[in-house]
Each structure stands twice: as C-alpha cells, then as structure tokens.
C-alpha cells in the first residue's frame, strides 16, 4: 500500500521579484505603479477607520462589487472579487480547469510564471504553447484539444498584446472550454476583452488593482464573466473562508475605481514615459518587443543582461532578470517616474 510519502509532492514555488528596503533605491523590478493611489483612497480609509478593525467585513464585498460593476457597465452578478488577481486566478484554476478527463490547460511559454505553479499545486495537467520567434501568441496554436486556456493580454514579461479579433478566434475555436484573459496590464494601452462578454459565455476576464490603480499592497483583483461562471467561482471561494476580502480593501478599492479622472491621468503619464523610455533604450543599443504594458522587455546588442542587472543592482537600481532558457538575455524594466527612468539611463550610460 502506498504510504503518505507517495502523495507528497515537491512543487517548485513561484519566485517573486525582490522587495528590497533601501531608501535610495530605484525599484523597477515588480511592475508596481510609481504614483500613489488616488487621494480618494486615503479619504476612504479615514472615513471607515473607526469600524474597520472592529467589524467583520461584508462577505459579498458589495461596495467594491457595485463600484466595479458600474465602472465596467456590467451587472453585479457578473463580478467576482478576490485577494489580488493571483487569488482570483487560483480560484478559476480550481473551478474551471480541474476537469475529470484531465485534459491539459493551455498557456503560453513564455508567460506569467504563476500558471504552471498553480497547475502543479492543484494537480491540473497543463501544456505550454511556445510563442513564435517574435515572442507573439499565435491563435492557431490554441486549436488543439484542451481543458481550458489562460493567457495574459498584454503578455508578461514580453509586454506584447493581441487584438480583440485574435481573442475572438481563440474563443470561437474553444466554445466548450473556459478561456481566461488575464488583463493585469490592459490599462496601459490595450483593448479589454470585457466588450466581448455579451457574445462569449466561455470568457472570463481577470484584472487587478495592483498596477494601474497603484494598490499592490492592498491585494485586490477581480473577474468579470457571465453570471453562471461567476456563481461557480463564488461556490468554490465560499468554501475557503480565508479568502474573504478585508474591510479596508473593500472601502479603498471602491474609492479607487470611482476616481476615473485620477486613473486616466496616471496611466497616461506611465504610457508617455514608456514611449519616451523606448526611444532612450534604442539609443543605448537595446532592442525590445513593442510593449503595451507598464514595463519593457529589453535585450542589449553586446552586453549580457545578467551583467547589466548586477551592475544596476550595485547602484541600487532594481530591474528583473529571468535566468530561464530563451529569455536569459533580457531585462524586464518597470516604467517608473520620469526621474527614476532618467536615473536608470544615467546608470546604463556608465555601465555600457
């Protein structure tokens, strides 16, 4: 008889970017937003502070769900909120991809490196679909048998986005599977698949407050889909009580999503800085896919990425380096403020 040891697995854990605490650092390694959240978020905290610690949170997170539904023009029963989009996606893996026939969930290789970790944790078979030589997602590769599909749009860490027609092709080819579009970076210049929801019952769109709404520390993510998909997610989530959102996240998240003007202003600044940064990188001898995200995935023509990463780090400038096949000569550089990016370029001029 098999003992418990046979049931224990070694899962290779997800490795997050460093969170160093120097005061003089330039932190461009984990795609955080360089601007503070909307001032309305602070006001919401002050307004609700007295009750936040004393009372239990509303298990339906109604204030936040209502604000998201209003903003995206859907009904409340189409919205699912969670503790960061990581939590939302984990719930979606458990709910939709754990199929009895054990058909593999498909996602791109190269992509967000949490997908294979969740699949392994939950014992869900998966198959990675290589990007083409230009790091693009090819829709025809998603016509093979599968138990569900997930991809980020824009993709990470490449920053490349696909259009709504390409997403429709994937949805049309897989009417019986749930297709998740992970839109963590969509607000920096890509069309959201939320506009396709009326025509596709198998589509789930996931977004986060960690990037364009500058609230990574608060852990807020959400999914929008048809009511049936959302109610399935709720049933799974409600079985894990620890995943309830806390009072602060509900109040601050709702305030953030209602402040459309601040959101537009800050995302626009990041987009402008990104486009300027692309030109600076070209002048320094870097090449990169045409990012639509709040980061650029760049490779230098003559100096190894690992060396640049190390030398920047010595100067307390943090970018992300992935020691993985095919991308080990690339750096992923988060778009900071213009001043932060200038410090990066000044350092690069010394190093190169």
Smallest distance, ligand PMP to C-beta of residue 351, A: 27
Return the closest-CA partner of residue 224 out of 67, 37, 99, 59.
Answer: 67
- Number of residues lying near ligand PMP (CB under 6 A): 12
Q: Considering only 50-58, 162-170, 208-216, 321-329, which stretch makes contact with ligand PMP by CB under 6 A?
A: 208-216
Smallest distance, ligand PMP to C-beta of residue 177, A: 20
Q: Which is nearer to ligand PMP, 93 or 348 (CB)?
A: 93
Residue by residue, DSSP assigns 153-186 as SS-TTT-----HHHHHHHHHH-TTS-EEEE-TTG
Smallest distance, ligand PMP to C-beta of residue 112, A: 4
* DSSP conformational letter for 96: I
Residue numbers 90-119 binding ligand PMP by CB under 6 A: 112
Q: 221-225 and 79-82: which strand pairing? A: antiparallel
334 binds ligand PMP (CB under 6 A): no
Smallest distance, ligand PMP to C-beta of residue 4, A: 32
Smallest distance, ligand PMP to C-beta of residue 208, A: 3
Smallest distance, ligand PMP to C-beta of residue 349, A: 29
Using CB under 6 A, which of 81, 167, 170, 184 touches ligand PMP? 184
Using CB under 6 A, which of 166, 196, 216, 234 touches ligand PMP? 216
CA 298 to chain CA centroid, Å, is: 19
Using CB under 6 A, which of 33, 85, 291, 294 touches ligand PMP? 85
Using CB under 6 A, which of 158, 174, 190, 210 touches ligand PMP? 210
Cα-Cα-Cα-Cα torsion 94, 97, 101, 107, nearest 10 degrees, comes to -140
Bridge partner list, 54:
none
Binding mask 33-72 for ligand PMP (x = CB under 6 A): ----------------------------------------
194 phi/psi in degrees, rounded to 5: -55, -35
Counting runs of H as helices and runs of E as strands, what totals does the chain give? 11, 13
List alpha helices for 75-129, DSSP H: 84-92, 115-121
156 binds ligand PMP (CB under 6 A): yes
Structure-token pair, residue 258: 């209602």
**Whats the size of the chain, residue-wise?**
352
Contact 197, 85 (CB under 8 A): no
Return the closest-CA partner of residue 214 out of 32, 343, 89.
Answer: 32
Burial state string for 271-302 with b = 16 or more CB within 10 A and e = fewer than 16: bebbeebbeebeebebebbebbbbbbbbbbee
Q: Considering only 34-42, 82-90, 197-205, 325-333, which stretch makes contact with ligand PMP by CB under 6 A?
A: 82-90
Smallest distance, ligand PMP to C-beta of residue 17, A: 8
Binding site for ligand PMP (CB under 6 A): 84-86, 112, 152, 156, 182, 184, 208, 210, 216, 221
């Amino acid at each position: 008889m098999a003992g418990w040891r046979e049931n224990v697995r070694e899962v290779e854990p997800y490795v997050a970017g460093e969170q160093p605490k120097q005061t003089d650092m330039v932190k461009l390694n984990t795609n955080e937003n360089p601007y503070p959240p909307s001032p309305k978020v602070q006001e919401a905290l002050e307004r609700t502070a007295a009750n936040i610690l004393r009372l239990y949170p509303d298990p339906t997170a109604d204030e936040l769900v209502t604000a998201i539904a209003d903003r995206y023009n859907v009904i409340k029963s189409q919205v699912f909120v969670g503790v960061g989009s990581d939590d939302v996606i984990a719930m979606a893996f458990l709910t939709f991809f754990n199929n009895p026939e054990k058909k593999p969930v498909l996602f791109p290789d190269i992509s967000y490196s949490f997908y294979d970790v969740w699949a392994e944790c939950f014992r869900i078979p998966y198959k990675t679909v290589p990007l083409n030589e230009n790091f693009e997602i090819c829709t025809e590769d998603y016509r093979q048998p599968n138990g569900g599909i997930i991809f980020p749009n824009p993709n990470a860490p490449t920053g490349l986005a696909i259009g709504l027609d390409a997403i429709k092709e994937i949805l049309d080819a897989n009417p019986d599977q749930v297709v998740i579009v992970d839109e963590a970076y969509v607000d920096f210049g890509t069309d959201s698949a939320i506009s396709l929801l009326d025509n596709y019952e198998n589509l789930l769109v996931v977004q986060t407050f960690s990037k364009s709404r500058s609230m990574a520390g608060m852990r807020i993510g959400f999914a929008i889909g048809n009511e049936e998909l959302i109610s399935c997610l709720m049933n799974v989530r409600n079985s894990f009580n620890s995943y309830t959102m806390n009072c602060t996240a509900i109040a601050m998240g709702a305030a953030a999503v209602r402040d459309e003007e601040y959101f537009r202003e800050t995302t626009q600044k990041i987009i402008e800085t990104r486009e300027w940064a692309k030109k600076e990188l070209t002048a320094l001898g870097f090449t990169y896919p045409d990012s639509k995200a709040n980061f650029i995935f760049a490779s230098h023509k003559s100096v190894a990425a690992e060396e640049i990463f190390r030398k920047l780090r010595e100067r307390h400038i943090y970018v992300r380096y992935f020691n993985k096949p095919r991308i080990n000569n690339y750096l992923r550089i988060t778009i900071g403020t213009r001043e932060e990016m200038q410090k990066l370029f000044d350092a690069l001029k010394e190093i190169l």
